């Protein structure tokens, strides 16, 4: 008998990658899903603990965690550099100013995907789930989340792996609100996820990813189940 197909999910512990993980478990079965979480110097490394809770909840046995070399420091990202606080505004506002997004981590996602492909080959997974979504890509907020980048990486992965591994980006055309709607439908454990760029005890509520998340729940008429330090627009979290 052929051994079952395996999938690897890049799991940060946020809503998007957790929703991808639920999708992978539904398609492959949790026993055939590997979760991969990477430490790259992010201030919010506590997302790894969230990823751990998610894998436990979903029954994924194989959760691989690696530390990348210290190459992102000094690259100007507010997610990493200690002297640069994360912005307190929405992605919508951030996208109005041209140039490099302050939260962009230089070429991070290609590093994550390359490690993911190597581990897929070593462990025999043929599919990588990667949770980039449409708002990550909009106006080049994150160039390494765009359909153009995803397509190029999908080609590089397929060719460079002897056509053994394919990249799936099932959220590529969904807004954050649509990801929340999908997650609600398929059972994403939102209460276990962590999105905030600041690694404090509670989610700050004011960084771009907190505000985007709150807005996405609000658009679905849902309450985000996690706790926030501050809620700027009280309408968002009744």
Q: Which residues contribute to the site for a copy of itself (CB under 8 A)?
A: 66-75, 99-100, 104, 106-111, 113-115, 117-119, 121-122, 140, 143-144, 146, 148-149, 152-153, 155-157, 159-162, 165
Question: Smallest distance, Å, CB 74 to a copy of itself?
Answer: 6
Backbone angles phi, psi at 216, to 5 degrees: -65, -40
Question: Smallest distance, Å, CB 234 to a copy of itself?
Answer: 36
Closer by beta carbon to a copy of itself, 149 or else 217: 149
Question: Smallest distance, Å, CB 220 to a copy of itself?
Answer: 31
Closer by beta carbon to a copy of itself, 120 or else 193: 120
Task: Output the CA–CA distances (angstroms, integers) from residue 152 to 155, 158, 161, in the order listed.
Answer: 5, 10, 14
Closer by beta carbon to a copy of itself, 167 or else 196: 167
Closer by beta carbon to a copy of itself, 99 or else 221: 99
Q: How many residues can be counted in the chain?
A: 238
Distance CA 19, CA 220 (A): 16
Rg of the chain over all Cα atoms, to the nearest angstrom: 17
Question: Smallest distance, Å, CB 117 to a copy of itself?
Answer: 4
Question: Smallest distance, Å, CB 200 to a copy of itself?
Answer: 27
Closer by beta carbon to a copy of itself, 87 or else 106: 106
**211 CB contacts (<8 Å, ≥6 apart)?**
89, 90, 91, 205, 232
* Greatest C-alpha distance within the chain: 57
Rounded to 10 degrees, the C-alpha dihedral 125/131/132/135 comes to 170
């Amino acid at each position: 008998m052929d051994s079952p197909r395996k999938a690897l999910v890049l799991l940060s512990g946020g809503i998007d990658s957790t929703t991808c993980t639920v999708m992978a478990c539904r398609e492959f079965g949790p026993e055939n899903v590997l979760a991969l979480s990477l430490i790259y110097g992010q201030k919010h490394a506590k997302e790894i603990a969230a990823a751990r809770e998610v894998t436990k909840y979903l029954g994924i046995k194989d959760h691989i965690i690696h530390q990348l070399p210290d190459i992102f420091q000094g690259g100007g990202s507010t997610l990493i550099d200690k002297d640069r606080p994360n912005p307190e505004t929405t992605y919508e506002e951030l996208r109005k100013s041209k140039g490099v997004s302050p939260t962009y981590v230089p070429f991070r996602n290609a590093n994550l995907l390359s490690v993911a492909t190597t581990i897929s080959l070593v462990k025999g997974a043929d599919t990588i789930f990667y949770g980039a979504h449409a708002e990550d890509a909009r106006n080049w907020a994150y160039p390494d989340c765009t359909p153009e980048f995803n397509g190029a990486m999908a080609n590089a992965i397929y060719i460079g792996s002897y056509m053994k591994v394919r990249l799936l980006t099932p959220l590529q055309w969904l807004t954050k609100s649509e990801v929340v709607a999908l997650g609600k439908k398929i059972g994403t454990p939102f209460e276990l996820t962590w999105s905030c760029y600041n690694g404090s005890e509670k989610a700050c509520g004011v960084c771009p990813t907190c505000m985007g998340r709150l807005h996405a729940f609000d658009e679905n008429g849902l309450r985000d189940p996690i706790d926030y330090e501050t809620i700027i627009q009280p309408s968002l979290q009744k």
